[in-house]
Structure 1
C-alpha cells in the first residue's frame, strides 16, 4: 500500500513538473517505526527530475537514428515530427527532439490520443468510410535467400514499404548443375543459418552448363496483406517454381525486437565471417577461371603457365587452411588474378600479331600474281 502511494505521488509530481519548475511531495503516515509515524515531505524541481531521467531520454534517440538509417533519410529531410505518449509533454524530451531534428516537434495533436485516432482512421479506411488516406505497412525484418558459402543475401531490406517487388539474377555454383535449392530467410544476421528460415523449394530442369552461365531470376513479391510470393525462374527455359509465405514469418513483436538486438550485438563478428566467406567465394571463382584458361592458352609460354599453376597451388593451400584470414585469402587471389591477366594480355597480343602477319602476306602474293601477266604482255605482242 505504501509503495502504491509513492508511485502515485511520483506520477503526480512528474506531470506537474511538465508545466511547473518545482512541486511539493507530501505523503503523511507513509510508514512507521519505533519512533512513531513516518512522513515524506520534499520539494522536487524540474532540473532534478531531468537529471534523473536524462540517460533514458538520450537512450530513446538510438531507435530514432536506426529508423532514419533504415529509411535512408536524414533528420533534416523529415517534414514533421509527431510526438506520441504522455511523457512527450516533458520539456526535456521536447528540447532533446528539437535539438536532434533541428525543428520544433508538431504539437497540434494530443499525444495521449494520437495513436487511438490513427487506429480509428484506419478502421474508417478499411470500412470505406474514409477516403484519400492510406496506411503504409513495412517489412519488420530483411528478407533474402541463402547463397554460396551460407551467406544471407538480402533482397528486401528491413522497413521497406509494402506492397513491394524485387528481382535479382543468380547463377549456379558448380558445372553441369541441373537444379538449385532456394532457401528463403528473414533476419538481420549476415549468415543465413543465424536467421529464421521461412521455407525452401527446388528449381529443377536447368540445362547442364558451366558454373556461372545459367541465369536464375529470383523474385520477391509482397502484397498489401503481407503475403510473400517467392519465385525462381530459369531465364533460358522459362521453367519456374515458387513458394508463398507470410512476410513476418509469424513472429511476435518481442521476437522481432530480439532478432534485431542479436544482429546488433553480433554485428562485428558476423561481418568478419561474411567477409571471409566472400573472400573464399572470390578465390574459388578465380581458381576456376585460371584452370579453364590454362587449357585454352595457345600463345602463352610454358614458363608463364607454370607460374600460374604454382599460384593456383598456393591459393588452394590457403583455402584449405582453416586458420587463413580474409587478407591472406585476398592476397593469394589477387596474385593469381594478376598473373592470369598478364597471360591473357600476352595471348591476345600474340594472337593479334599472328593475324596481322597473315593478313599482310596475302596481298603481297596476290600482287605478284597480278604482275606476271603484265610482264608477259609485251612478249606476246612481239610474237604476234
Structure 2
C-alpha cells in the first residue's frame, strides 16, 4: 500500500497539516481540537519541552525560554535579522558560521531555527499519525515565494530532523493556487492573498495545463493577525486602566489571559456583530478582586485595526 503523503504549512505563527482522502484534502485536527497548531516551543523547568498551544499559553510568563517566529530566522545569517531580533523576547546570538542561533537559558543551549521548526513538525507528524493510525514519513512542506535557497534548504533540513522524507518544498501561493484550481481547466491569472499570523503576502500566478508559475510576489513581513490581536489587547487594557488604575500589560499572568481572550473575540467577530470579553478575577488590589467585562463590536474592531488594514 502506498504511503500517505502529508502537506504541511509551516507558518510563522501557526502551522497546519493535511492529507488527501478520497481525492479531497483533509486538514487534521490536533489533540487540542484545533486545526491550527501554534509554531511555538517552550522550555520549562528541567528542560521540559512544550510545543504548540501548551507552549503558547506559558509564553508571557516564560518569555526568555519560549521560541516563536522561528521561520523569521531559518536559513539566515545573524547580520540579516536585526529587525527580527528586536521584535522577539528571547535572545538571538551569532553562531561560529555567523548563523542566527536562539539561546535557551533554561537548558543553557543555543538551538538553530531548524531545530525549533523540527519540534513543531514532529508534533504535526504525531498528530497525523494519530489521525491516520499509521507511520507518517512522507511530506511536502510549503515556504513563502520569497524564500531564498538557504531558507528553503534549512526548511528541508527541519523536515528531515523531524523524521520526514521531504518530497518537495513548494511555494505557499502555489499551494493555494493548486487547491483553488484542482478541478478547473484552462488558463487563468490568479491572485493569492495570504494574511497569516505574522506576515502578509500577495502573489500573482499564471495557471495553465496543470502548471502554476509565480509571476510576482510582495507583502509585509511584519503584518499579520497578531497585530490585529494586539490592537484589541491595547484597547481593552487601556479601558481597564482608565477604570481601575491597573495596567494589565504589566502582569504576565493577566496579560496571557487577556491575549487569549482578545484573539478569541477577534475570531468570534468574523461571524457575529458583537462579542463580550469577560475575564473574572483578572487581577486584584487592596480592595479585593477585579473583573474585566468589555463589549466589542465588529465596527469598533474595524476602527481599532483601520491603520493595519490601510497598510
TM-score by length of 1: 0.20
Select the structure that is richer in helix. Answer: 1
Query: Larger relative contact order (C-alpha < 8 A, sep ≥ 6)?
Result: 2
TM-score by length of 2: 0.24
Select the structure that is richer in strand. Answer: 2
